[in-house]
């Protein structure tokens, strides 16, 4: 578990560096002013959220093909971490939307897709809580994760379409070239942090699973006839 | 095997048709409540009538879908069916098709309620039927799969909507938009694209869920 | 939508602190869970 904590520390270091640059060194953007600085944490969170979803999807497929419990542990970790990132993403996006568009939510296709996937992953985590048999729990969450992941692009395109008929808003702009360094630092920061979290969470899942399937402890007189 | 499965499902549904009536009344009551939620603003009610119809159908579908596995939970019938020398997918598709038919029927039954409550009628009945059928198919495929799962666990009433609702967002969007265009007018012929989206969603999920069903009910 | 948005630091601080708090709380929850299963 040393490696996991190294990743976490590295992640925090990069985030501190990147955020410092993003908050105090990079110039304010032309139209958005200082609010644009939110992008330095929003965009890295978004990229890593997609990675986490991809990881969970991969783990789900791997489990269905191998029936190896370690993939279920990875799926559990991927689900939880991607839920965390999705939640943060929705909050950041909402905080960005208020000063920019005057409302807390602007139905941006990317943000809305994240919200839908957030609910979907919460549902799958809830499902896991209600199934007692470990194997069945693993199979079902893998199936549900695959179904939800396949849905992600469909949700994105349908919301984009749906939204485009009403408004012609631009979504959070891609950051222009002057601002690349803080963005890259933060992107790696969140990435390392995420890798560390997933490793740690996988360990928790493995330990829980071991505890669940363990035999009852041997008592002093076990095995005696009389 | 599929035909046999379908026949069994339809027979079961016919025998419990009073349940359908209850679900229909639930759906109609939901539509009524939406109008109270919005207020007696005829213009607004008409504009959002399509959304209300589909939301009402969605809520009612959770009742229909969870009920559809009720029989299999008694006397361990689900296991018994698995012992048959046939593909579990036939069982899935039989049930999914039966659910689809029931939801389509429910949708059509709610249309007159919508017409009366929201003054939202249309002459393009065939197109409306197509949209209802495709939308119901979008609800039925993943819904039947998740109903199979949740029927076997404790908090089934809460889990089914929790799992299903985020998933069917594209189908909901497309159905609402397409129906809305049919009712309110479609000067730029956009309904075709929404119907295409619905069709694509249905195609993807009817194949994917069928593929995965075997894993959901295995021991 | 053009026009300069002045100020807005409160939003920036809110976003960064929320993100930081989120990661911190999650890390603490992981530590607690690891301790528990040892």
pLDDT in tens, B54-96: 999 999 999 999 888 887 777 677 777 777 777 778 889 999 9
Q: C-chain residues within 8 Å CB-CB of A13?
A: none
Q: B-chain residues within 8 Å CB-CB of A116?
A: 166, 169
pLDDT for the residue numbered A88: 96
Q: Which residue reads 């999705």 in tokens?
A: A86
Instruction: State the pLDDT confidence band at A173, using cuts at 50, 70 and 90.
Output: low
Residue C5 CA, chain-centre distance (Å), reads 23
What is the overall mean pLDDT for chain A? 87
Reduced DSSP (H G I as helix, E B as strand, rest coil) percent helix, strand, coil of chain A, to 5: 80, 0, 20
Q: What is the model's pTM?
A: 0.89
For residue B144, which phi and psi values (nearest 5 degrees)? -65, -40
Instruction: Count the alpha carbons within 13 Å of B173 in the hemisphere toward its beta carbon.
Output: 27
- How many C-beta neighbours within 10 Å does residue B207 have? 11
Helices (H) and strands (E) in chain C, counts: 1, 0
Task: ipTM value, please give it.
Answer: 0.89
Q: Which residue reads 């049919």 in tokens?
A: B182
Interchain contact C35–A (C-beta under 8 A): no
Q: Rounded to whole angstroms, how far apart are CA atoms A112 and A202?
A: 28
**Chain A residue closest in CA terms to B141:** A147
> How do the domains of chain A map onto residue ranges?
2-26+35-166+178-208
Q: C-chain residues within 8 Å CB-CB of A38?
A: 11-12, 15-16
Q: Which residue reads 């939901």 in tokens?
A: B30
Interchain contact A166–B (C-beta under 8 A): no
In a mutagenesis test of the A interface, which of B142, B153, B201, B218 is the best target, namely the one with the most A β-carbons within 10 Å? Answer: B153
Q: C-chain residues within 8 Å CB-CB of A106?
A: none
> How do the domains of chain B map onto residue ranges?
2-217
Task: Tell me the per-residue pLDDT of B150-179, one tens digit each, with 9 for 90 and over.
Answer: 888 887 788 999 999 999 999 999 999 999
Q: What is the DSSP string of A163-216?
A: HHTT-----SPPPPGGGHHHHHHHHHHHHHHHHHHHHHHHHHHHHHHHHHHPPP
What radius of gyration, in Å, describes the C-alpha atoms of chain A?
21
């Amino acid at each position: 578990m040393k490696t996991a904590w190294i990743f976490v520390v590295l992640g925090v270091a990069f985030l501190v560096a990147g955020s410092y640059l993003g908050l105090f060194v990079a110039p304010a953007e032309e139209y958005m002013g200082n609010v644009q600085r939110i992008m330095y944490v929003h965009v890295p969170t978004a990229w890593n959220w997609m990675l986490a979803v991809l990881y969970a999807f991969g783990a789900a497929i791997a489990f269905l093909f191998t029936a190896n419990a370690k993939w279920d542990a990875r799926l559990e970790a991927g689900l939880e971490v991607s839920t965390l990132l999705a939640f943060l993403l929705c909050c950041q996006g909402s905080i960005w939307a208020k000063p920019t568009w005057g409302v807390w939510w602007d139905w941006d296709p990317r943000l809305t897709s994240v919200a839908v996937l957030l609910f979907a992953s919460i549902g799958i985590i809830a499902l896991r809580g209600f199934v007692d048999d470990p194997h069945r729990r693993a199979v079902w969450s893998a199936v549900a994760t695959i179904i939800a992941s396949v849905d992600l692009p469909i949700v994105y395109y349908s919301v984009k379409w749906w939204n485009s008929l009403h408004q012609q808003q631009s979504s959070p702009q891609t950051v222009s070239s002057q601002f690349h360094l803080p963005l890259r630092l933060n992107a790696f920061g969140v990435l390392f942090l995420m890798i560390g979290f997933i490793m740690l969470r996988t360990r928790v899942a493995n330990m829980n699973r071991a505890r669940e399937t363990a035999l009852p402890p041997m008592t002093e007189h076990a095995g005696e006839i009389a | 095997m599929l035909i046999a499965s379908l026949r069994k499902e339809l027979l079961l549904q016919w025998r419990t048709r009073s349940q359908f009536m209850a679900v229909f009344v639930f759906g109609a009551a939901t539509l009524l409540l939406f109008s109270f939620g919005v207020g007696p603003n005829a213009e607004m009610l008409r504009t959002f009538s399509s959304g209300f119809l589909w939301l009402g159908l969605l809520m009612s579908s959770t009742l229909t879908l969870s009920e559809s596995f009720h029989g299999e939970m008694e006397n361990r019938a689900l296991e018994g069916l698995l012992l048959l020398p046939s593909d579990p997918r036939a069982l899935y598709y039989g049930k999914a098709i039966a659910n689809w038919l029931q939801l389509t029927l429910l949708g059509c039954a709610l249309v007159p309620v919508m017409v009366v409550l929201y003054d939202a009628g249309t002459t393009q009945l065939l197109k409306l039927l197509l949209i209802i059928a495709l939308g119901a198919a979008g609800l039925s495929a993943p819904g039947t799969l998740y109903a199979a799962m949740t029927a076997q666990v404790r908090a089934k009433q809460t889990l089914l909507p929790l799992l299903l609702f985020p998933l069917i967002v594209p189908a909901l969007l497309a159905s609402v938009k397409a129906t809305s265009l049919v009712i309110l007018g479609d000067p730029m012929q956009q309904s075709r694209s929404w119907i295409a989206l619905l069709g694509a969603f249905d195609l993807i999920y009817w194949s994917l869920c069928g593929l995965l069903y075997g894993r959901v009910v295995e021991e | 939508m053009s026009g300069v948005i002045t100020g807005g630091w409160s939003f920036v601080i809110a976003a960064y602190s929320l993100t930081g708090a989120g990661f911190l709380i999650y890390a603490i929850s992981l530590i607690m869970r690891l301790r528990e299963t040892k």
